[in-house]
Amino acid sequence: MPDFNPETLQAFAKLVVTRMGSGEEEAEEVADHLVRANLGAHDSHGVGMLPTYVRLLGDGLLVPNQKLRTVVDFGALLVVDAGRGFGQRMAAEAVRAAIARAKQEGASVLGLRNSAHIGRIGTYGELAASAGMAFIGFVNVADHHPLQAPYACGHAQLGTNPFCATIPGEQDAPVVLDMATTAIAFGKARVAHNKGVPVPEGTLIDEEGRPTTDPAGIVRDRVGALLSFGLHKGSGLAIMCELLGGVLTGGQRADEPQHNGTVNSMLAVLIDLARIGDPSSIRAGVATATAHIKGSRVAPGFEEILLPGDPERRQADSRRKRGIPIDETSWSEICDAARKVGVSDAEIGRALAG
Ligand SMILES: NC(=O)c1ccc[n+]([C@@H]2O[C@H](COP(=O)([O-])OP(=O)(O)OC[C@H]3O[C@@H](n4cnc5c(N)ncnc54)[C@H](O)[C@@H]3O)[C@@H](O)[C@H]2O)c1
């Protein structure tokens, strides 16, 4: 497979989302989000999600062109219901509303509930950072068979419940911690399965609760579980994502009946740097504090010290130049999904030709 030019891939993703029924702006937002995830090497949340979205659309579990419904609007507090709308647009719109609220109030608390898959959470932290805001987001995953075995559980009971925190830094480079609370994201197990490679040790258990590195069980046969990262601590964070992201927002929970969809709910706190202090001294503080960490002696076995967000920025620099790799299996699944919504072989051929 050739590596894809990001613009060509984005145009192709936009075409598929348009054929799914989305309007121009929604298709643009979704395609942009997916390709940015690929640029940051989060292929698990890039264009490889399109087959899932096409299936969800067919099953009535994803609603194009949905409108956010305001449930609570009180001071700094905003709660919106996304009614299974296309998550990349629903979440971006909700975060833009929370940014506007934080500009008025100094900070805002956003509850986004019942959205279809919102993708890479870091995108929303970056959106807030570009508006001069710090961001903390707790997200739960529901409507999907559970994937995460919390600490001491022998089988899956929760979703991969991601957490994200970002703060603007100097020169438009925010620090972006954005992670699943499982030792690896489910999409990484899917990508490993498509490539036919094992996942790292300590990330999976099989149907008996025993350690395994074979992703086939969880990806193909839906048995076994992803382990939480960091033993009881990561597991505790996953539980708080369920309680804050799912329960407090009034969103769907992992214990409720599932329809083989993906529903994300998120509790996010946004803080306007200009209201909590002096933005330039906060940014300078971020630069000094992070330089302190980066200036440490590098531990044996490592080449350098990176900050959260650095790996994605580097990957994006490199993939913008060299192109985005997509494995054969993923590309063939994407093409099958595209055909299902009416994309022609000629249109697929044009995307491949770049
Ligand atoms: N929407 C959903 O339901 C959902 C669910 C789970 C995960 N996700 C998304 O999946 C994506 C992947 O999650 P993940 O847990 O596999 O991410 P990851 O493990 O690749 O990275 C996690 C964090 O660690 C940082 N990092 C990575 N390597 C580093 C290093 N060497 N030094 C310092 N920092 C480093 C990254 O910048 C990132 O902030 C995320 O974007 C997440 O939002 C979404």
Q: Name the residue among 252, 196, 201 with its Cα closest to residue 219.
A: 196
| Greatest extent of the chain over all pairs of C-alpha atoms, in Å | 56
In 3D space, the residue among 140, 133, 136, 45 whose CA is nearest the CA of residue 96 turns out to be 133
Predicted confidence (pLDDT) at residue 186 exceeds the cutoff of 90? no
pLDDT confidence band for 46 (50 / 70 / 90): very high
| Per-residue pLDDT, 1 | 79
Inform me whether the pLDDT recorded for 351 exceeds 80. no
Please tell me the least confidently modeled range out of 156-160, 191-195, 295-299.
191-195
Beta bridge partners of 182: 228
Lowest mean pLDDT among 231-235, 284-288, 339-343, 348-352: 348-352
Q: Is 119 in the pocket of ligand 1 (CB under 6 A)?
A: yes
Q: Please give the distance, rounded to the nearest whole angstrom, from the Cα atom of residue 178 to the centre of ligand 1.
A: 5
- Average pLDDT of the chain? 96
Average pLDDT of 291-317? 97
CA of 179 to the centre of ligand 1 (A): 3
36 lines ligand 1 (CB under 6 A): no
Q: How many angstroms separate the CA atoms of 67 and 60, rounded? A: 16
Is residue 91 scored above 90 in pLDDT?
yes
Q: What are the E-state strand segments in 127-191?
A: 133-142, 148-149, 163-167, 175-179
Give the number of other Cβ atoms within 10 Å of residue 32's Cβ: 16
pTM of the model: 0.96
Nearest-atom number in ligand 1 for the CA of 186 is 6
Question: Does the structure show a pLDDT above 70 at 264?
Answer: yes
Structure-derived torsion over alpha carbons of residues 249, 251, 254, 258, reported in degrees to the nearest 10: 180
By the 10 Å C-beta count (0-12 exposed, 13-18 middle, 19+ buried), 210 is classed as exposed
* Distance from the alpha carbon of residue 38 to the mean position of ligand 1, in angstroms: 13
Report the run of H or E that residue 308 belongs to, with start and end. Answer: none
177 lines ligand 1 (CB under 6 A): yes
pLDDT at 354: 67
Phi, psi at residue 314, to the nearest 5°? -65, -45
- Residue 128 alpha carbon to ligand 1 centre in Å: 18
Residue 34 in contact with ligand 1 by CB distance below 6 A: no
pLDDT of 79: 98
Distance 180 CA to ligand 1 centre (A): 6
In this prediction, residue 317 carries a pLDDT of: 97
**Does residue 312 carry a pLDDT above 90?**
yes
Cβ of 319 below 6 Å from ligand 1: no
158 C-beta closer than 6 A to ligand 1: no
